[in-house]
Amino acid sequence: MRLEKKVALITGAGNGIGREAALLFAGEGASVTAVDMDENAVEAVATEIRSAGGACEPVIADVSTAAGCEGMVSAAEEEFGRLDVLFNNAGIMMGDDGDAMSTEEAVWDRTMAVNAKGVYLGCKYGIPALLRAGGGSVINTASFVALVGAATPQLAYTASKGAVLALTRELAVVHARQNIRVNALCPGPLRTKLLMDFLDTEEKRHRRLVHVPMGRFGEAKEMAEAALYLASDESSYVTGTEFLVDGGLTAAYVTPE
């Protein structure tokens, strides 16, 4: 098993990528601390993992607060004794996120608080736990929009994911000689509730999908598989990357300088 005897903390574990990652990591031998604001959803994930014979501790926490992030890391260490994998995956995409003129300040602030500050706080409290365990892997969920502009305006979301990518690169360099790897998972457009709720018309979905060479939306499970590689020792020489899993989207639009 690829994560045998490892302890993983996953935020946003109640739905989407986080849920699929929690189930997959547990199936590969990890003890999972599943973190989410949705108590029913995260309890359901924990129940499914335990029913399959795995170990899971559900934690209700707001990653945009220091107390929430400190508490979730403490819960992982108290329940399982250590932390080896930190998957900062929680994120939001607000329906009224648009261009600079239409996006309200409150939308900007809330998006940044969860998507960018939540990753910073996760690392602030999670990296010391990884150090206590002798090293480990940090995976931060960014997005393809950190590299290219979105066809449908979502300025706060795009800016927040750019911040995640920059933060990831710097922390990868800072901790490279401490046996801590830090990578950014950059999904392309996914068929998840988060994106489908934002692309709420067929026209919006087509406008996004037309840019994907593979011609389809990705699946949350495919992102979990990519995160599993970054979490495992198979990626022992991989750090500071923008790990794109986007159906070829950025290859079609980003050219080397």
Determine which one of 120, 125, 157, 229 is catalytic.
157
The confidence score (pLDDT) of residue 256 equals 58
Of the candidates 6, 2, 5, 1, the one whose C-alpha atom is nearest the C-alpha of residue 136 is 6
Give the model's pLDDT for residue 178.
98
pLDDT means per 10 residues in the chain (257 residues)? 98 97 98 98 98 98 98 98 99 94 98 98 98 98 92 92 98 98 94 74 74 88 98 98 93 70
Fold topology of 7-253: Rossmann fold (3.40.50)
Half-sphere exposure of residue 10: CA atoms within 13 angstroms, side-chain side: 32
Please state the pTM of the whole predicted model.
0.94
Six token digits for residue 7: 């302890």
Q: Which pair of tokens denotes residue 198?
A: 């934002």
CA dihedral 11, 12, 17, 18 (to 10 degrees): 50
* Residue 257 pLDDT: 56
Strand ranges (E), 94-218: 136-141, 180-187
Residue among 183, 178, 172 nearest 235 (CA)? 183
Our answer to whether residue 157 is catalytic in this structure is yes
User: What are the Cα distances from residue 216, in Å, to 51, 193, 248?
Assistant: 33, 15, 11
Nearest alpha carbon to residue 230 among 162, 179, 184, 178: 184
Nearest to 230 by CA among 139, 159, 147: 139
Q: Is 186 helix (H, G, I), strand (E, B) or coil?
A: strand
**1 Cβ contact partners less than 8 Å away, ≥ 6 residues apart:** 28, 29
d(CA 167, CA 102) in angstroms, rounded, equals 27
Question: Using CA atoms, how far apart are residues 250 and 156, in angstroms rounded to an integer?
Answer: 20
Domain boundaries, the chain: 7-253
Give the pLDDT of residue 254. 62
